Amino acid sequence: MTDRIAKLEIDGESYEFPVLSGSVGPDVIDIRTLYAKTGHFTFDPGYTSTGSTESAITYIDGNQGTLLYRGYPIEQLAEKSSFLEVSYLLLNGELPSKAEFAEFEEKITRHTMLHEQMVKFFEGFRRDAHPMAIICGAVGAMSAFYHDSTDITDPKQRVIASHRLIAKMPTIAAWAYKYSVGQPFIYPRNDLGFAANFLRMCFAVPAEEYVVSPTMARAMDRIFTLHADHEQNASTSTVRLAGSSHANPFACIASGVASLWGPAHGGANEACLNMLREIGSVDRIPEFIARAKDKNDPFRLMGFGHRVYKNFDPRAKVMQQTAHEVLSELGVENNPTLQVAQELERIALEDDYFIEKKLYPNVDFYSGIILDAIGFPTSMFTAIFAMARTVGWISQWKEMIDDPKQKIGRPRQLYTGATTRDYTDISDR
Ligand code: CMC
CATH code of the domain in which 253 resides: 1.10.580.10
pLDDT tens for 114-154 read 999 999 999 999 999 999 999 999 999 999 999 999 999 99
Give the pLDDT score at 336. 85
Confidence label for 2 from pLDDT (cuts 50, 70 and 90): low
Is residue 387, in this structure, part of any structural domain at all?
Answer: no
Per residue in 171-181, is it b (16+ CB within 10 Å) or e — as a string?
Answer: bbbbbbbbbbe
pLDDT-derived band at 73 (thresholds 50, 70, 90) equals: very high
- Which of 362, 382, 393 has most ligand 1 atoms within 8 Å of CB, for mutation? 362
Q: Is residue 397 a part of any domain in this protein?
A: no
Residues 144 and 186 reside in one and the same domain: yes
pLDDT tens, residue by residue, 9-61: 999 999 999 999 999 999 999 999 999 999 999 999 999 999 999 999 999 99
Domain hosting residue 10, numbered range: 5-51
Active site residue 364: yes
65 part of a folded domain: no
Residues 279 and 293 in one domain: yes
Is it the case that residue 333 has pLDDT exceeding 80?
A: no
Residues 16 and 122 in one domain: no
**Ligand 1 environment, Cβ below 6 A:** 230, 233, 264-266, 268, 292, 300-307, 357, 359, 362-364
* 81 lies in the same domain as 208: yes
- Quick check: is 363 in a domain? yes
Residues of 388-416 as b/e, b for ≥16 C-beta within 10 angstroms? bbbbbbbbbbbbbbeeeeeeebeeeeeee
Q: State how many domains the chain has.
A: 3
The protein residue whose alpha carbon is closest to atom 8 in ligand 1 is: 305
Mean pLDDT of 375-389: 95
Separation of CA 54 and ligand 1 centre (Å): 26
pLDDT at 1 over 70: no
Q: Confirm whether 256 is domain-assigned.
A: yes
| Catalytic status, residue 130 | no
- Ligand 1 mean position, distance from CA 231 (Å): 18
> How far, in Å, are 7, 10, 16, 297 from residue 13 at the CA level?
10, 5, 10, 46
pLDDT at 310: 87
